[in-house]
């Protein structure tokens, strides 16, 4: 960011006396920090999960099988302004006779820095990690979508104010991914006592995480009809 822009933004930040939101863009050596002059009025966090449908003979409808959780998404709108106090008045459109003065800088310099974070960095072989920091929120992810609208210009047409809409997806480190499996180890044979209403695909999902593996249990127990289970029956769950 140009030194004059940084000085102007720092001065306005000190005048307002508020904790400002910022973007920290991963770089080799020292990360780049972009301060947001106007804090967002809101941000949205979205969590979701992926499921698949498994069709099982004898059932009226498919079984919904959990696959995995999806990355958390962050959506936020940021306002960027390179107007420096003391600069003559600016208007939302370019009007003859209204000058931006020498102290105003092109806000597209900042938007380009953010836009560059959506492209692959050669040394990283991937887009850089971007952290959005504001208050208690410290969201680490990658920018998956960006659009920017310029709303104020100098007489020469230079943009000095912009609205930037960003969508992030969170990053999960390999260490975070190594979570304890919700299923017991399927590498050894086990036995289960059937409860009232239990079906083979229920046992398969509970043991292997896949209801389609009911056929493996059926073969191990020589069960011809998967619906023919009785409460109290002991079923062998083979190792895989």
Same-domain check for residues 94 and 44: yes
How distant is the alpha carbon of residue 25 from its chain centre? 15
Residue-wise pLDDT tens digits, 123-147: 777 889 999 999 889 999 999 999 9
User: Residue 156: inside a domain, yes or no?
Assistant: yes
CB atoms closer than 10 angstroms to residue 165: 13
Torsion angles phi and psi, residue 54, rounded to 5: -115, 120
Element (H, E) at 30: none
User: Is the confidence at residue 169, as pLDDT, over 70?
Assistant: yes
Same-domain check for residues 87 and 203: no
Q: How confident is the model at residue 102 (pLDDT cuts 50, 70, 90)?
A: low
Mean pLDDT of 198-222: 83
User: Residue 147: inside a domain, yes or no?
Assistant: yes
Mean pLDDT of 79-97: 57
Same-domain check for residues 59 and 94: yes
The confidence score (pLDDT) of residue 94 equals 40
Same-domain check for residues 209 and 137: no
**What string of DSSP letters covers 183-238?**
SPP-SS-EEEEPPTT--HHHHHHHHHS-GGGHHHHHHHTT-S-TT---TT-EEEE-
Same-domain check for residues 52 and 155: yes
Mean pLDDT of 25-51: 88
Torsion angles phi and psi, residue 144, rounded to 5: -100, -15
The answer to whether 55 touches 115, Cβ cutoff 8 Å, is no
User: Is the confidence at residue 86, as pLDDT, over 50?
Assistant: yes
Residue-wise pLDDT tens digits, 219-240: 999 888 877 888 888 888 888 7
Lowest mean pLDDT among 93-97, 125-129, 153-157, 190-194: 93-97
- If one counts the domains in the chain, the total is 2
User: Residue 185: inside a domain, yes or no?
Assistant: no
User: Is the confidence at residue 77, as pLDDT, over 80?
Assistant: yes
Total-model pTM = 0.59
Same-domain check for residues 196 and 143: no
Angle at the Cα of 140 from the Cα atoms of 136 and 142, rounded to 5 degrees: 140
Compare 17 and 95 and report the one with higher pLDDT. Answer: 17
Mean pLDDT for the chain overall: 78
Bridge-based pairing of strands 49-54 and 234-237 is unpaired
User: Is the confidence at residue 98, as pLDDT, over 60?
Assistant: no
Q: How confident is the model at residue 63 (pLDDT cuts 50, 70, 90)?
A: confident
Same-domain check for residues 32 and 131: yes
User: Residue 210: inside a domain, yes or no?
Assistant: yes
The confidence score (pLDDT) of residue 165 equals 96
Asked whether the CA dihedral 216, 220, 224, 226 is positive or negative, the reply is: negative
Show the tokens assigned to 211: 């209801």
Mean pLDDT of 194-207: 82
Same-domain check for residues 194 and 136: no
User: Is the confidence at residue 51, as pLDDT, over 50?
Assistant: yes
Mean pLDDT of 88-99: 42
User: Residue 117: inside a domain, yes or no?
Assistant: yes
Same-domain check for residues 218 and 137: no
Same-domain check for residues 76 and 99: yes
Q: Residue 230 maps to which CATH number?
A: 3.10.350.10
User: Residue 184: inside a domain, yes or no?
Assistant: no
Q: Is 9 helix (H, G, I), strand (E, B) or coil?
A: helix
User: Residue 200's domain spans which residues?
Assistant: 190-237
Same-domain check for residues 110 and 29: yes
User: Residue 231: inside a domain, yes or no?
Assistant: yes
User: Residue 182: inside a domain, yes or no?
Assistant: no
Same-domain check for residues 23 and 99: yes
């Amino acid at each position: 960011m140009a030194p004059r822009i940084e000085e102007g933004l720092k001065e306005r930040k000190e005048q307002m006396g508020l904790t400002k939101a910022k973007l920290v863009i991963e770089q080799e050596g020292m990360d780049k920090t972009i301060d947001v002059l106007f804090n967002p009025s809101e941000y949205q966090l979205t969590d979701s999960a992926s499921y698949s449908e498994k069709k099982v003979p004898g059932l009226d409808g498919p079984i919904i099988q959990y696959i995995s959780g999806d990355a958390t998404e962050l959506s936020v709108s940021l306002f960027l302004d390179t107007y420096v106090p003391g600069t003559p008045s600016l208007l939302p459109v370019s009007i003859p006779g209204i000058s931006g003065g020498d102290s105003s800088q092109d806000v597209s310099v900042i938007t380009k820095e953010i836009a560059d974070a959506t492209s692959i960095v050669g040394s990283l072989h991937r887009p850089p990690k971007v952290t959005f920091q504001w208050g208690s929120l410290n969201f680490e992810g990658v920018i998956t979508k960006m659009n920017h609208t310029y709303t104020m210009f100098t007489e020469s047409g230079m943009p000095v104010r912009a609205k930037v809409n960003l969508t992030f997806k969170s990053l999960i480190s390999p260490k975070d991914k190594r979570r304890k499996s919700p299923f017991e180890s399927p590498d050894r044979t086990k036995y289960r006592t059937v409860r009232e209403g239990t079906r083979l695909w229920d046992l398969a999902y509970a043991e292997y995480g896949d209801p389609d593996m009911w056929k493996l249990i059926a073969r191990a127990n020589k069960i011809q009809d998967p619906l023919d289970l009785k409460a109290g029956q002991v079923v062998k769950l083979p190792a895989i």
